[in-house]
C-alpha cells in the first residue's frame, strides 16, 4: 500500500510525515530515533497499513521537518511538538511504536495522554537504567561536566562513518544493509547548524534518564499493552532494557532478534509479523 508524504504546520514548525492506510482504521504512530527519520519505516509502513492508519513524523532536528530559528532542542520540546501534531491531525486514540530517541518522546506523550494511548511497541527504545550500555559513557561524562572539551568529544558520533557503523554493528551480513539508509541519515546530519542541535540533544538526554522512574510509574499505574522487539546486539541499548519492562508490565511481550540497533533493516518481516499479532489482540477492530 502506497505511503503518502505530507507536511503540517505546528507552532511554526513544518512537520514532515509519512501516512499510509485508511484514516478510519485504528492509528499507529511511529516515532524514529537518532540519527534517522521516518525513512527508517519505509518498509514497515505499507505492511502495517493493511489494517491500520500508520503515521510517521520526522522529529524536529531530523529528516525533513523544518523548525524555526531559536527553537530550543530538548526532549520536552520535541514531545510537545509531537503531542500537538497528534491533536492537529485529530488522532483520538493511537498505539505508539518508538525507537531510540522516539522512546522518551513517546513515553512523555503517553504519560500526558494516557487515555488516548491504546498500546506501546518498543523497538530498542529504553526506559530503564540497566538498558544503557557502556557506549553511553562519553555522553554521561558530558552530563557530569558539560565543558567544551567533553562536548567536542561527542562530535565523533555525528560522522558518516559512525552513522554507518550504527547500522551495521551486530549485523550478521553488513552488506545486507541498504546503503541509502545510513547515507541519507549522514547527509541530513551534515546540514548547516545541525551538529550543535544534535550535541544539545546529547546533553539533554540526561532528562530522559531522570524521568525513567516516572515512565515506570506510568507503566505500573496504567498497564498499557506492551510489545518489545529488540535487536539483541545493540551497542547502546542492552537486552536488559527490554526484559526490564516485565518488572512493571508483567504481561509485556518480549521478542529478541539476532541483529543490531536498526533491527527493521534486517528483520523487518519478522518484526512486522510480531506487531500484527500483538495489535490484532489489543487494538485491531473486527
Helical ranges in the chain per DSSP H: 44-48, 75-88, 102-112, 137-144, 148-152, 160-168, 179-189, 194-222, 239-243, 245-248, 263-282
Please say if 261 is a catalytic residue.
Answer: yes
* CA–CA gap between residue 117 and residue 222 (Å, rounded): 10
Check 255, 261, 267, 282 and give the catalytic one.
261
Query: Of 83, 108, 124, whose CA–CA distance to 207 is shortest?
Result: 108
SS3 content of the chain, % helix, strand, coil (to 5): 50, 20, 35
Contact 139, 156 (CB under 8 A): no
Contacts with 203 (C-beta within 8 Å, 6 or more apart), sequence order: 142, 143, 146, 151
Contact 235, 169 (CB under 8 A): yes
CA distances from 120 to 12, 52, 126, 222, 282 (A): 29, 15, 12, 12, 10
Task: Tell me the HSE value of 126 on the side-chain side, using a 13 A CA sphere.
Answer: 26
Q: What is the DSSP string of 182-200?
A: HHHHHHHHTSTTHHHHHHH
Q: Is 60 helix (H, G, I), strand (E, B) or coil?
A: coil
Catalogue the active-site residues. 261
Amino acid at each position: 500500500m502506497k505511503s503518502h508524504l505530507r507536511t503540517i504546520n505546528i507552532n511554526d514548525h513544518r512537520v514532515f510525515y509519512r501516512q499510509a492506510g485508511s484514516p478510519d482504521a485504528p492509528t499507529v504512530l511511529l516515532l524514529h530515533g537518532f540519527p534517522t527519520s521516518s525513512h527508517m519505516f519505509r518498509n514497515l509502513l505499507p505492511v502495517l497499513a493493511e489494517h491500520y492508519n500508520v503515521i510517521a513524523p520526522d522529529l524536529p532536528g531530523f529528516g525533513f521537518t523544518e523548525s524555526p530559528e531559536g527553537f530550543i532542542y530538548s526532549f520536552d520540546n520535541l514531545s510537545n511538538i509531537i503531542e500537538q501534531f497528534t491533536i492537529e491531525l485529530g488522532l483520538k486514540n493511537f498505539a505508539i511504536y518508538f525507537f531510540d530517541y522516539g522512546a522518551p518522546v513517546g513515553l512523555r506523550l503517553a504519560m500526558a495522554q494516557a487515555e488516548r494511548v491504546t498500546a506501546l511497541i518498543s523497538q530498542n527504545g529504553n526506559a530503564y537504567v540497566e538498558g544503557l550500555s557502556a557506549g553511553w559513557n562519553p555522553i554521561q561524562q558530558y552530563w557530569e561536566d558539560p565543558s567544551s572539551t567533553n562536548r567536542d568529544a561527542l562530535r565523533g558520533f555525528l560522522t558518516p562513518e559512525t552513522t554507518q557503523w550504527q547500522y551495521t554493528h551486530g549485523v550478521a551480513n553488513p552488506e545486507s544493509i541498504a546503503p541509502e539508509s545510513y547515507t541519507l541519515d549522514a547527509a541530513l546530519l551534515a546540514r548547516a547548524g545541525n551538529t550543535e542541535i544534535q550535541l544539545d540533544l546529547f546533553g539533554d538526554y540526561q532528562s530522559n534518564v531522570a524521568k525513567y522512574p516516572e515512565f515506570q510509574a506510568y507503566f505500573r499505574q496504567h498497564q498499557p499493552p506492551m510489545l518489545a522487539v529488540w535487536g539483541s546486539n545493540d551497542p547502546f541499548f542492552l537486552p536488559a532494557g527490554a526484559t526490564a519492562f516485565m518488572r512493571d508490565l508483567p504481561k509485556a511481550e518480549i521478542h529478541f532478534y539476532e541483529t543490531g540497533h536498526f533491527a527493521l533493516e534486517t528483520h523487518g518481516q519478522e518484526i512486522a509479523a510480531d506487531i500484527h499479532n500483538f495489535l490484532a489482540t489489543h487494538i485491531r477492530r473486527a
